[in-house]
Chain A
Amino acid sequence: MESLFKRWVILSDSTMRKKYEAYIKSTDAKIAAFLEFDVDRGLGLAAEVGKGGELEGVPFAVKDIIAVRGFRLTCGSKILENFVSPYTATAVEKLIAKGGVMVGKTNLDEFGMGSSTDNSALGKTNNPWDTERVCGGSSGGSAAAVAAGMVPFALGSDTGGSVRQPAAFCGVYGLKPTYGAVSRYGLVAYASSLEVIGVCARSVGIARTVFDIMKGQDEKDQSSLNSGTDAPEPEAGVIGVLGGNLGLDPAVDRAYRATIDFYRSKGFEIREINLSMADYYVPVYYTIATAEASANLARYTGIRYGYRPGYAENPEELTRKARSEGFGNEVKLRILLGTYVLRSGFQDQYYQRAQRLRQAIRADFDRAFTRADVILMPVFPTQAFLRGQGGLDQFQQKLADRFTTAANLAGLPALSFPAAVSDGLPAGMQFLAPAFGEARLFDIVRLYEEHFPCPQPPSCKPEWS
C-alpha cells in the first residue's frame, strides 16, 4: 500500500513543493480546475492534527461543494461566492487525519446541477484531453485536476452521476459509494436522498484507499451506516450486461463491446440482463432530485451569509433579490420544478409516484443481482462533448443521465473506469454492485487496470503522475 502514494509525497519536501506549485500554476492556467488553491492553508490543517499517516505530504483536492474550514465553499454559485466555511466535512477530516494535504477546491456545476461544469457561475473548466471540450460534471474540476496530474485524487459528490461522468470524460477512476457509506456531513445538499461523497482517482488502489479512510458511520449524519461485514467479498464470476440498442455514440459503443470481450476472455460469464425500469430512471431522478433541491436551496436568502443585494425594503425583498440575482438559470429551473412537483394536490401525480417508481427500481436491481454479481454499463452515451454547437444542450444532457442515475436511485455503489481512448478522448464504463459491494468493484476493475493502466492526456505528464 505504501507504494501507491510514494510518488505523490510531494509536500514534505520544499524542492518538490516548488516544482509542484509551478506545475499547478502553468497547468491550471489552461485547465482552470481549481477555484481556490492554497498549499499553506492545506498544510496548516494537516499540522493541526499532527500525527500524519499514509497520506502524509500527499496533496488532494475537494469539490467546492464540500466544506473545508478556512476555505471558501462557493458551490460554483454567485450566491456563495465569498462564503468561507467555518467547519470541515467529516470525510475530509478523516483524510486530513491521515496526513493528507487539502490543497484546493475544485470547480463544479452550480450546486452540483449539470453535466459539464459549464453551469458554474465562477468560471469554465477545460478537459485536459482537449481544452475545447467540457470536463463533464458536476465534479468536473475534481476529475480534470486528477487527469491533469495535479492531485492523485480529488473528492466529488455524486447525485446522479456527478463523479462517474466527469471521471469518464477525463479518463480517471470515479467511485460513487453506497448511499450512506460515507458521511454527508459537510456536503452541501442538492438532493439529499440520492447523493454521496465520492472520489476521482488516478488508480483503483488510490480510490480504494481513500474510500476505506472516508467510510463509516458518523454521528453527525444519521443516514450514514457501517457496511454490514468486513468479510472478504467472493470474487465476481457473472457480469450482467445490457442488451438492445443503447443509443451510444460509436466510440462508446465500441468501448462497451471491447470491455465485455475483455472480461469474457478472462473467464467471466457474461449474462444479458433486463432492467425493465430503465426508462423511468431519468424522469424519476429529476422529480425526486428537484423536489429535494427546492427545499435544500431555500436557505440561501442573503440574510445570514452569502450574496446580499445592495438594498432591500424589507426581509422578503432581500430574499427575493438575493435569490434572483444570486442563482443561475439551471438552479432556478430545478427549484421551480421541485416546487411544482411538491405542490399539494399534485404530489400524488409527481413526487409520490416517483417514490413508488423508485421502490420498483430498487426491486428491479435486487432481482438483477440474483442473476449477476456485478452489472457493467456505459457511463454516458458520448465522450466529452464540445461547447456550443456540436455539444449537448441542457435537455439532451439530462436525457443522457440514463446510465448514471440508476445507482443513485437504488443507493448502489458504482465505479467508473477509463475503458478506452478513442479519437484522442477517453471513454468510460462503470460497474454496479449490490449495496456495500465496493470491494467487489475494486477487485474487478483492478483486473482491467492491470491490462490497461490509466491513460494520461499527452500534455499533462508531471514526474509524479
Chain B
Amino acid sequence: MYQSFIGLEIHIQLLTETKVFCGCINRFGDEPNTNVCPVCMGYPGVLPALNGEAIHLSYIVARALNCTLSPQAVFERKNYFYPDMPKNYQISQFSSPLGRNGWIDLEYQGKKKRIRIHEIHLEEDAGKMIHAGDMSLLDYNRAGTPLLEIVTEPDMEAGEEAELLLQNFRRTIRYLGVCDGNMEEGSMRCDANVSINLEGKGLGRKVEIKNLNSSRFVRMALNYEIERQTENLDKGVKVIQETRLWNENRDVTEAMRTKESAHDYRYFPEPDLPPFIPGAEFLARVDKGLVELPEARRARFIADYGLNETAADFLINEKATADFYEEVLKSGAAPDTAASWLQFDVRKILNRGNQELAGSPLTAQRLAQLLSLLAENRIHGKIAKQVLEAVFAEDKDPARIIKEKGWEQMNSPAELAALVDKVLAANTKAADAVRAGDEKPLGFLMGQIMKETGGRAEPRLVQKLLKEKTG
C-alpha cells in the first residue's frame, strides 16, 4: 500500500490600493503599461518603499491561519532573470518570513483534520509576457503588486482533500477581505506538490505541478499524478523529482523542460528595506482586522440557532450572506424561518436573475419586515412569496407593497362571516353535503373563499367559520 503526501503553495494577490513597493494603482484589467512608474519598472536609481497596507493585510492572514508571527520580517532578494521581472530579482522573504507554523482545520470524509502551514511570506508579483507570432510583448501593470505566498506542509492525501483545503482557504481570505480569490483571473494561484511512498516509509520523491487554474484542476491533477506515480512504482520505475505542467485539454500532467527547474536563487537580505518589526500598536491593528472565520461561524450557527449543517454551510459560504442573515435575526426573526427563506426562496430569485444578495433590492431590513408581517399573521405564506418577488421587481419595502396591492390578510370575523354566508349560499350542493357529514367539499368551499378574496382571507378563521356555519 502506498501513502501519498500533498502540499500546496498558494499565492494570493492582496487587495491593496497601491502596489507593494511604490504608489502605482494595484488594479487588474487596465490598458497594458499604464499603472507603472520608475520604481515598479526597475529604473536605475529607484528604491522600494514598503506599503503599510500590504504588510498589515499579510499579518492578518498569518494571524487568521494561526501562524507564529515573526518579530522581525526580513525581505530578501531572489535572483533570476525573466523578462517580465523588471529588476531581475524579486523582493521576497526567505530566512525570516512574516509567519510560520500555522494551520488550517478541515473536515474531510467526516473526520477533523489539521493541515499545517509551513510559512507565509510577502513578495512582489511579476508582470506578464505574451508571445504573439514572432514578437514577445510585456505588460508591467502587475509588476510589483503585493503577493502573499502560503506554503502548507505535505499533510494532505488526495486531490479531493486539496480541493477542499483550497475552497476553505478561499472562503477565509474572502472573509478577511484581503483577496477576492479568483483563480481564473489569477488573483489566487496554486502550485501543488505530491510524492508517494510505501506506507510508513515517509515522503517519496516530490513532483511539483504547475498551471493549475482552478481548484477542480488541482484535484484532477493530483489524482492523476498519484495514479501515475503508483503505476510507476508498481512497475519498479523510479519517480523522477521534477516539475510537471497540468494539461487541461488532455487531463494529464506533462514533464516540463528540466532546465527551468535548476535555479540557484542566490537569496540575500534586501539592503534597501530594513526588516519589518511589528510593534504593539501594529499588532493591535492586525487583531482589529480579524473577523470570525467561516468554520467558527458555521459551528456557532449550528449551536446557537439550531440550524442543520446544510443550512449552516449555505449561510456561511459568503460572509455577506452570513452577515445578512444575522442582521435579519436582530429584528427578532426566527432563525430557522430566516435561514429557510434565504436558502430557498431568496436564492431561487437571485439565481434566476444571476445576481448577488449584496446590492440587490432585498436588504436585511426588508426581509426582516417581511418575516415579521408573516409572523404577525398580517400576510400568509403564499402572499409572502409574492411580496418577495415584488421587492425584487419594484425595489420597495414589503409593507408598502402589501398596502399598495391590498394584499393584507383579511382577519375581521364579521367581514369573513358575511363572505362565508355568501359562498355557502352560492354553493348549496356542497354546503348541504358538508352539513350531512361529508367533510370533503370543505376544501372546495375554502378555495372559493380564497378565490373571492384573492387569497387574502386568514385561512384558520375561515375554516372555523365554515365549520360553525355548517355544523
| Residue in contact with B87 in the complex, picked from A193, A299, A342, CB distance below 8 Å | A299
| B50→A342 contact, CB < 8 A | no
Q: Bound state CA distance, A192 and B46, in angstroms?
A: 11
Q: Bound state CA distance, A303 and B85, in angstroms?
A: 11
By the criterion of a CB under 8 Å from any partner CB, how many residues of chain B are at the interface? Answer: 31
Chain A residues near B87: list those with CB within 8 A.
295, 298-299
Tell me the nearest residue of chain B to A342, going by C-beta: B266
Kindly state whether residue B129 has any CB partner on chain A within 8 Å. Answer: yes
| B45→A186 contact, CB < 8 A | yes
Chain B residues near A298: list those with CB within 8 A.
79, 81, 87-89
| Residue in contact with B45 in the complex, picked from A85, A223, A314, A347, CB distance below 8 Å | A85
Given contacts A222-B274, A339-B266, A342-B266, contact A75 B83 (CB under 8 A): no
Chain B residues near A382: list those with CB within 8 A.
none
Given contacts A298-B81, A299-B86, contact A220 B45 (CB under 8 A): no
| A295→B47 contact, CB < 8 A | no
Given contacts A303-B83, A314-B136, A319-B81, contact A351 B268 (CB under 8 A): yes
Chain B residues near A303: list those with CB within 8 A.
83, 138
Kindly state whether residue B236 has any CB partner on chain A within 8 Å. Answer: no
Q: Bound state CA distance, A304 and B138, in angstroms?
A: 9
| Residue in contact with B272 in the complex, picked from A65, A66, A223, A343, CB distance below 8 Å | A223
Given contacts A295-B77, A298-B87, contact A185 B46 (CB under 8 A): yes
Tell me the nearest residue of chain A to B264, going by C-beta: A344
Q: Bound state CA distance, A141 and B81, in angstroms?
A: 33
| B43→A86 contact, CB < 8 A | yes
Chain A residues near B88: list those with CB within 8 A.
295, 298-299, 301
Kindly state whether residue A188 has any CB partner on chain B within 8 Å. Answer: yes
Given contacts A299-B87, A315-B129, contact A67 B44 (CB under 8 A): yes
CB distance from B146 to the nearest CB of A (A): 16
| Residue in contact with B136 in the complex, picked from A67, A223, A301, A315, CB distance below 8 Å | A315
Kindly state whether residue B273 has any CB partner on chain A within 8 Å. Answer: yes
Q: Which of A301-322 contact B (CB under 8 A)?
A: 301, 303-305, 314-316, 319
| B83→A319 contact, CB < 8 A | yes
Kindly state whether residue B271 has any CB partner on chain A within 8 Å. Answer: yes
| A301→B49 contact, CB < 8 A | no
Kindly state whether residue B381 has any CB partner on chain A within 8 Å. Answer: no
| B79→A342 contact, CB < 8 A | yes
Kindly state whether residue B362 has any CB partner on chain A within 8 Å. Answer: no
| A295→B81 contact, CB < 8 A | no
| B45→A295 contact, CB < 8 A | no
CB distance from A63 to the nearest CB of B (A): 12
| B271→A315 contact, CB < 8 A | no
Chain A residues near B129: list those with CB within 8 A.
315
| B38→A87 contact, CB < 8 A | yes
Kindly state whether residue A442 has any CB partner on chain B within 8 Å. Answer: no
**Which label, helix, strand, loop or mixed, suits the secondary structure of the A interface?**
loop
| Residue in contact with B86 in the complex, picked from A65, A304, A339, A342, CB distance below 8 Å | A304
Kindly state whether residue A80 has any CB partner on chain B within 8 Å. Answer: yes
Among A83, A187, A294, A299, max chain B CB count under 10 A is at A299
| B43→A292 contact, CB < 8 A | no
CB distance from B73 to the nearest CB of A (A): 13
Kindly state whether residue A251 has any CB partner on chain B within 8 Å. Answer: no
| A222→B272 contact, CB < 8 A | yes
Q: Which of B18-51 contact A (CB under 8 A)?
A: 38, 41-50
Chain B residues near A222: list those with CB within 8 A.
47-50, 272-274
Chain A residues near B47: list those with CB within 8 A.
184-185, 220-223
Tell me the nearest residue of chain A to B77, going by C-beta: A295
Chain B residues near A192: list those with CB within 8 A.
271-272
Q: What sequence of 0s and 1s flags, for each residue 313-356 of chain A, a beta carbon within 8 Å of any chain B beta carbon?
A: 01110010000000000000000000100111001000100000
| Residue in contact with A189 in the complex, picked from B45, B264, B268, CB distance below 8 Å | B45
| Residue in contact with A304 in the complex, picked from B42, B50, B273, CB distance below 8 Å | B42
Kindly state whether residue A219 has any CB partner on chain B within 8 Å. Answer: yes
**Which label, helix, strand, loop or mixed, suits the secondary structure of the B interface?**
loop
Kindly state whether residue A204 has any CB partner on chain B within 8 Å. Answer: no
Chain A residues near B266: list those with CB within 8 A.
294-295, 339, 342-344, 347
Chain B residues near A87: list those with CB within 8 A.
38, 43, 46
Chain B residues near A188: list those with CB within 8 A.
44-45
Chain A residues near B41: list those with CB within 8 A.
304
Among B49, B136, B138, B268, max chain A CB count under 10 A is at B268
Chain B residues near A67: list those with CB within 8 A.
44-45
Chain B residues near A301: list those with CB within 8 A.
81, 83, 88
| B45→A89 contact, CB < 8 A | yes
Given contacts A292-B271, A295-B77, A319-B83, contact A220 B264 (CB under 8 A): no
Kindly state whether residue A73 has any CB partner on chain B within 8 Å. Answer: yes
Chain A residues near B38: list those with CB within 8 A.
86-87
CB distance from A251 to the nearest CB of B (A): 37
CB distance from B145 to the nearest CB of A (A): 17
Q: What sequence of 0s and 1s flags, for each residue 86-122 of chain A, a beta carbon within 8 Å of any chain B beta carbon?
A: 1101000000000000000000000000000000000
Chain B residues near A347: list those with CB within 8 A.
266, 268
Kindly state whether residue A419 has any CB partner on chain B within 8 Å. Answer: no
Chain A residues near B42: list those with CB within 8 A.
299, 304
Q: Which of A262-316 contact B (CB under 8 A)?
A: 291-292, 294-295, 298-301, 303-305, 314-316
Q: Bound state CA distance, A186 and B136, in angstroms?
A: 30
Chain A residues near B268: list those with CB within 8 A.
291-292, 295, 342, 347, 351
Chain B residues near A73: list those with CB within 8 A.
44-45
Q: Which of A180-207 contact B (CB under 8 A)?
A: 184-189, 192-193
CB distance from A322 to the nearest CB of B (A): 12
Q: Which of B53-106 contact A (CB under 8 A)?
A: 77, 79, 81, 83, 86-89
| B264→A343 contact, CB < 8 A | yes
CB distance from B46 to the nearest CB of A (A): 7
Q: Bound state CA distance, A342 and B77, in angstroms?
A: 11
| Residue in contact with A185 in the complex, picked from B45, B83, B271, CB distance below 8 Å | B45
Q: Bound state CA distance, A294 and B89, in angstroms?
A: 10
Chain B residues near A221: list those with CB within 8 A.
47, 49, 272
| B136→A75 contact, CB < 8 A | no
Tell me the nearest residue of chain B to A345, going by C-beta: B264
Chain B residues near A351: list those with CB within 8 A.
268
Q: Bound state CA distance, A447 and B81, in angstroms?
A: 52
CB distance from B436 to the nearest CB of A (A): 94
| B44→A75 contact, CB < 8 A | yes
CB distance from B270 to the nearest CB of A (A): 8
Q: Bound state CA distance, A425 and B470, in angstroms?
A: 131
Q: Bound state CA distance, A189 and B272, in angstroms?
A: 10
CB distance from B23 to the nearest CB of A (A): 10
CB distance from B134 to the nearest CB of A (A): 9
Tell me the nearest residue of chain B to A320, going by C-beta: B81
Q: Bound state CA distance, A75 and B44, in angstroms?
A: 9
Chain A residues near B43: list those with CB within 8 A.
85-87, 304-305
Q: Bound state CA distance, A184 and B265, in angstroms?
A: 26
| B44→A299 contact, CB < 8 A | yes
CB distance from B225 to the nearest CB of A (A): 27
Q: Bound state CA distance, A315 and B265, in angstroms?
A: 20
Ordered by A's residue number, 13 sampled pairs between the chains whose C-beta atoms are within 8 Å are A67-B45, A75-B44, A87-B43, A185-B47, A220-B49, A222-B47, A222-B274, A292-B268, A295-B79, A298-B79, A298-B88, A315-B83, A343-B266
- Beyond contacts A185-B47, A220-B47: 18 other A-B pairs, Cβ-Cβ < 8 A, are A67-B45, A86-B38, A185-B45, A185-B46, A189-B45, A221-B47, A221-B272, A223-B47, A223-B271, A223-B272, A294-B266, A295-B79, A295-B266, A299-B87, A299-B88, A304-B86, A344-B264, A344-B265
Top-10 shortest CB links A-B: A298-B88, A193-B271, A192-B271, A342-B266, A315-B83, A188-B44, A188-B45, A299-B42, A67-B45, A186-B45
A residues neighboring B (CB under 8 Å)? 65-67, 73, 75, 80, 83, 85-87, 89, 184-189, 192-193, 219-223, 291-292, 294-295, 298-301, 303-305, 314-316, 319, 339, 342-344, 347, 351
B residues neighboring A (CB under 8 Å)? 38, 41-50, 77, 79, 81, 83, 86-89, 129, 136, 138, 140, 264-266, 268, 271-274
